[in-house]
Amino acid sequence: MWYGWGVITLTLDDGVAEIVLDAPDRRNALALDDLNDLDAAYRRAAEAGARALVLRGEGRVFCAGRDISGVDPETDDIAGYLGAVEGLMRRMADHPAPTFAAVQGAALGVGLGLAIATDVVYVGETAKIGSPFAQLGALLDSGGHALLVERLGAHRALDLIYTGDLMSGAEAVAAGLFSRAIPDAELLAFTREQARLAASGPTQAFLASKRLVASLRDERLWSVVADETAGQEALRATADYREGFAAFQQKRRPVFRGT
């Protein structure tokens, strides 16, 4: 069975739901409407009683983050956008079945948040993970600070944030960020097979473990997400934030003044 909402699609087959970000021309970057559509897809998968779920991106990139191609920082409702991100991440984290993500290419910003909110994340060996916000004058969001500090420590987290350097999928898994690194060509087939096996397993036992893991993780995660949203809204008023967005949209190098 197939469903579609804008650039988001959902298929249901033999107890496994597969949700696809299908906007490869913009590296699966997500606008506000796309977040709402993705939320609807997760809601429909839950209603259908799928016993496992796979999230993936079409093309070479999982999700490059927010679609800012037409965003004006002067009028942007960044708090509203990130509020929708948090709502979506909470729905994903609470999904009543084991969830898996196949992450190829870049998983940045909101894309990183989608991975954080998924139970099990398999990444391609050459995937790109980190914080690209140094070139935008903006703040790492969608739970990124919680993930990087918890798994890498404060020094390495700030190193990645300050430099904008990206970790490969293999490096990210070796550092404990995600589940396993898989050769790129095998990633999707491997993820689908793990979801199929989970769908035939003891669902209630899996969900009991999922709830216990959530109880250990979620208080800190959601607190950080809220703080990131507030920080991003405050940065929106800075000259560097406006310059970062303008440079991205004009495809040039930003010139930051520290204001």
125 to each of 35, 52, 112, 156, 181, how far by Cα in Å? 27, 24, 16, 20, 5
Q: What is the pTM of this model?
A: 0.95
Ordered per-residue pLDDT tens for the chain, 259 residues: 999 999 999 999 999 999 999 999 999 999 999 999 999 999 999 999 999 999 999 999 999 999 988 888 888 899 999 999 999 999 999 999 999 999 999 999 999 999 999 999 999 999 999 999 988 899 999 999 999 999 999 999 999 999 999 999 999 999 999 999 999 999 999 999 999 999 999 999 999 999 999 988 777 899 999 999 999 999 988 999 998 888 888 989 999 999 9
Whether 110 and 30 have beta carbons less than 8 Å apart is answered as yes
Whether 123 and 129 have beta carbons less than 8 Å apart is answered as yes
User: What are the two backbone dihedrals, phi and then psi, of residue 135, each rounded to the nearest 5 degrees?
Assistant: -90, -5
Give all domains of the chain, ordered by start, each with its CATH number.
Answer: 2-185+200-250 (3.90.226.10)
